[in-house]
Structure 1
């Protein structure tokens, strides 16, 4: 039945707050319940409270920002390109003309004798075969494009003479009845001398 009079409500309130005081056990239970309620309220308020504003550093309050430096790491460094010295052009070392191998002079003389214009009607392939044993494979392909009937010389008229000697190569002059040939003779990998080029003497 509800309490309708002020006196009755006051008596009810007095009974409630006097209840913990009637025994130590009731007082301990009441204190524990009150402490739990306070902790729960504090936890709820801590969760919803906004974060405090960050404290301004001395540099920001003056309007200037302190410079930040970062030590460069070894992985981020770009190597400085190093200029290489120029490479000198390779040229054969000249040797005394008297040191020209006799085998190289002999090959030049034989090659010139096979190079002069053959008799009329000689097939170009036959003329080329006469030059094959004395010519490098690379230069033989060049000679395959030559028309032997257009060769101006018909015979060799002088002995071969060395004009320039280097390690592994000799320029040999051979006189014919129409011009003086300058034949380049080189030492191949298999240890034999072969003709690798020729030109007219100036």
Structure 2
């Protein structure tokens, strides 16, 4: 049976890994040396990757890329052709194809818009518009003072001016002005999402 001693190969290995642990100064020197070696290897790897992959034709960099195949030649990049983007404007339909439900919504909404009896509150006015208005536009109408609405009655039917598959722009005449109303097709039916003076 061999006699184990502090000498031999195991003792040499033990002396190597115990050397940095014998004092804080040795530990700091060891950490710095190992950090420098790791940093140097990483820098050398990045430099060799740039030199091999990005320099072509006598050290000039450009839009070329290195062919990773066995040919060892620089390959020029092939441009990627994307399909053309279609126009984002909505499809227009003839005015005569305006849905009757959309025009009726515009007329009824305008009738509720001009309905602001003296002494009524803004909440009552908005409540009258709620069934015919989108939720987003209701937030805008909540800040309107109905006393500032100049009209008091609708004087004619709604007439379509622009028609798309999911929206209709119509004009509604009142006793003081003509309203331009945008009606959109929602899950809950046709609703007004905007109005302006024509």
TM-score range, shorter chain: 0.5 to 0.7
Greater strand content: 2
* Secondary structure of residue in 2 paired with 1:184: strand
Distance in structure 2 (CA, Å) of the matches to 1:155 and 1:112: 9
TM-score (norm 1): 0.58
1:77 offset after TM fit, Å? 7.4
TM-score (norm 2): 0.59
1:178 offset after TM fit, Å? 1.1
Alignment partner of 2:68 out of 60, 65, 73:
73
1:80 offset after TM fit, Å? 5.7
What is the correspondence of 1:37-76 to structure 2 with a 5 Å cutoff?
Answer: 72-73=67-68
Return 5+ residue gaps in structure 2 as ranges.
Answer: 1-57, 59-65
Distance in structure 2 (CA, Å) of the matches to 1:73 and 1:131: 68
Q: Aligned residue for 2:184?
A: 186
Q: Aligned residue for 1:165?
A: 163
* Secondary structure of residue in 2 paired with 1:118: coil
Return 5+ residue gaps in structure 1 as ranges.
Answer: 1-66
Segments of 4+ moved more than 2 angstroms: 76-89
Aligned pair count reads 131
| Residues 117, 150 of structure 1: 8 Å contact kept | no
Q: Aligned residue for 1:123?
A: 121
* Secondary structure of residue in 2 paired with 1:91: coil
Rg larger in structure? 1
1:198 paired with 2:157, answer: no
